[in-house]
């Protein structure tokens, strides 16, 4: 399957400058199917050599037995929204917010990110959402083109089915906007993520400060939007994803029927299925399963849905996303390594598996010819200590 992005977008170093030569030696290299002591050499931003042994060449960095793994690939993070709106109704200046967001991700080992932005607005009531994605995307892409970022950025458009303006907002994006993912978000109360209205009420009341009457009105608004526009928005969003050349993702599939619909729509991966039934159905349809790192680390979902650890133990977990805690991504991989007793398999859930899911075939593994996105990690008990981050061979963390 071809990449959704032009070749130039994969190779052009717009996020940072291509580095001079770098060699990380005397390291435990985590490849896709093995771990061995060796060295990895990066020239002009690309891995050019991998050798076995503990020899440290002149000019190389002696990693003293630390792990060296690929840079992390993040497909779904709400972090950029947290920076531009640090509190409800607080609009933070966008350029410094984007730069801080980029730096935070680099500091946690994420070297490729798909920045999630909501498309689909509601312009009335306490639960209103104002359209912002087009403007923010313009600012993000301009900052990237000027070399302000440390890591590689793509767009993830979260297509909110229960909204008033979804299709108009999607239509504002084009093939040059680096849209890599369009995910189908259906937050209709009483199903999927919020089958339990109590959990929904807790979430929105805290975020939006709703009283009981306002919450009831919000629920009725969403139910009405789903009834009036839900089917039209879903069909339209699938068409827009194809137009943009983006990978289509589902969100919060709960039943086998949900997954069946996702398969018909051409979904490539499922974000946060809420039940074992849905995750198992994804396996049947060849849809990759993504779960949240906070769920894995906390031991369960904050919404009361299926635990990521349960899916991991059932061999139903392929990809992990940091979701709302960037630093959780690296930690989650090492938690999975303990669960599976398989470090390469665990590291794959945050590197090669997400890269493959979005058809980025130039990164995600320690392999000659791929991007020089690498991390140096030392384990402190059960905790990974990040000791170095390189994006295209540039030290960024």
Nearest to 294 by CA among 325, 330, 340: 325
Rounded average pLDDT over 27-52: 97
At 322, the pLDDT band (50, 70, 90 cuts) reads: very high
Which residue has better confidence, 24 or 16? 24
Q: Can you tell me the distance from the alpha carbon of 163 to that of 119, in angstroms, rounded to the nearest whole number?
A: 9
pLDDT in tens, 1-18: 345 454 333 334 456 666
Supply the pLDDT for residue 89.
77
Consecutive H or E run containing 353: helix 352-357
Q: What is the mean pLDDT of residues 167-186?
A: 95
Lowest-pLDDT range of 262-266, 304-308, 348-352:
304-308
* Average pLDDT for the chain: 89
Residues 178-185 have a mean pLDDT of 96
Give residue limits of the domains in the chain: 71-363
**Is the per-residue pLDDT at 51 higher than 70?**
yes
For the ranges 174-188, 284-298, 369-383, the lowest mean pLDDT is seen at: 174-188
Residues of the chain with pLDDT > 70: what percent? 85
Q: Higher pLDDT residue, 361 or 224?
A: 361
What is the spatial distance between Cα 314 and Cα 328, in angstroms, rounded to a whole number?
22
Q: Mean pLDDT, to the nearest integer, of 210-233? A: 74
Which of 3-12, 142-151, 270-279 shows the lowest per-residue confidence on average (mean pLDDT)?
3-12
Closest CA to 293 of 204, 226, 354: 354
Mean pLDDT for 327-342 is 97
Strand pairing report for 61-62 and 319-321? unpaired
In whole angstroms, give the CA distance from residue 353 to residue 47: 19
Give per-residue pLDDT as tens, 83-137.
998 887 788 999 999 999 999 999 999 999 999 999 988 766 555 567 899 999 9
Long-range contacts of 201-208 (CB under 8 A, 24+ apart): 203/303, 204/127, 207/88, 208/88, 208/126, 208/127
Distance CA 95, CA 302 (A): 31
DSSP state of 122: B
Instruction: Answer yes or no: is pLDDT of 282 > 70.
Output: yes
Q: What is the pLDDT of residue 10?
A: 38
- In this predicted structure, the answer to whether residue 164 has a pLDDT above a threshold of 90 is no
Instruction: Give CA–CA dist 112/154, Å, rounded.
Output: 8
pLDDT score recorded for residue 378: 98
pTM for the full predicted model = 0.89
Q: What is the pLDDT of residue 6?
A: 45
**What's the rounded mean pLDDT across residues 222-250?**
88
pLDDT score of 138 more than 90: yes
- The domain made up of 71-363 has a fold known as TIM Barrel (3.20.20)
Which pLDDT belongs to residue 8?
A: 37
Q: Check pLDDT > 70 for residue 54.
A: yes
């Amino acid at each position: 399957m071809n990449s959704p992005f032009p070749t130039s977008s994969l190779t052009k170093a717009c996020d940072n400058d291509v580095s001079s030569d770098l060699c990380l030696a005397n390291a435990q290299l985590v490849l896709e199917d093995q771990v061995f002591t060796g060295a990895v050499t990066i020239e002009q931003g690309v891995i050019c050599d991998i050798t076995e042994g503990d020899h440290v060449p002149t000019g190389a960095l002696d990693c003293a037995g630390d792990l060296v793994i690929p840079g992390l690939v993040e497909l779904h993070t709400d972090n950029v929204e947290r920076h531009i709106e640090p509190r409800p109704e607080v609009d933070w200046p966008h350029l410094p917010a984007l730069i801080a967001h980029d730096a935070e991700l680099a500091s946690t080992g994420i070297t490729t990110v798909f920045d999630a932005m909501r498309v689909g607005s509601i312009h009335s009531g306490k639960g209103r959402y104002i359209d912002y994605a087009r403007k923010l995307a313009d600012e993000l892409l301009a900052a990237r083109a000027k070399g302000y970022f440390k890591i590689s950025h793509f767009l993830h458009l979260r297509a909110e089915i229960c909204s008033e303006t979804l299709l108009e907002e999607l239509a504002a994006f084009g093939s040059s906007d680096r849209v890599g993912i369009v995910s189908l978000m259906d937050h209709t109360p009483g199903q999927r993520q919020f089958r339990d209205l109590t959990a929904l009420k807790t979430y929105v009341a805290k975020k939006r400060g709703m009283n009981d009457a306002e919450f009831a009105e919000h629920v009725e608004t969403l139910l009405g939007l789903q009834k009036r526009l839900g089917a039209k928005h879903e069909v339209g969003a699938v068409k827009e994803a194809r137009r943009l050349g983006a990978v289509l993702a589902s969100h919060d599939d709960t039943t086998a029927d949900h997954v069946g619909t996702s398969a018909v729509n051409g979904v490539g991966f499922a974000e946060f299925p809420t039940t074992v039934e849905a995750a198992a159905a994804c396996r049947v349809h060849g849809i990759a399963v993504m779960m949240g790192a906070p769920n894995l680390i906390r031991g369960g979902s904050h919404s009361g849905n299926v635990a990521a650890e349960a899916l991991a133990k059932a061999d139903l977990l392929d990809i992990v996303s940091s979701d709302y805690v960037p630093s959780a991504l690296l930690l989650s991989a090492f938690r999975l390594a303990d669960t599976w007793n398989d470090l390469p398999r665990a590291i794959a859930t945050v590197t090669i598996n997400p890269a493959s899911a979005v058809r980025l075939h130039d990164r995600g593994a320690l392999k000659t010819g791929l991007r020089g996105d690498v991390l140096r990690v030392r384990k402190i008990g059960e905790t990974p200590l990040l000791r170095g981050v390189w994006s295209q061979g540039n030290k960024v963390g």
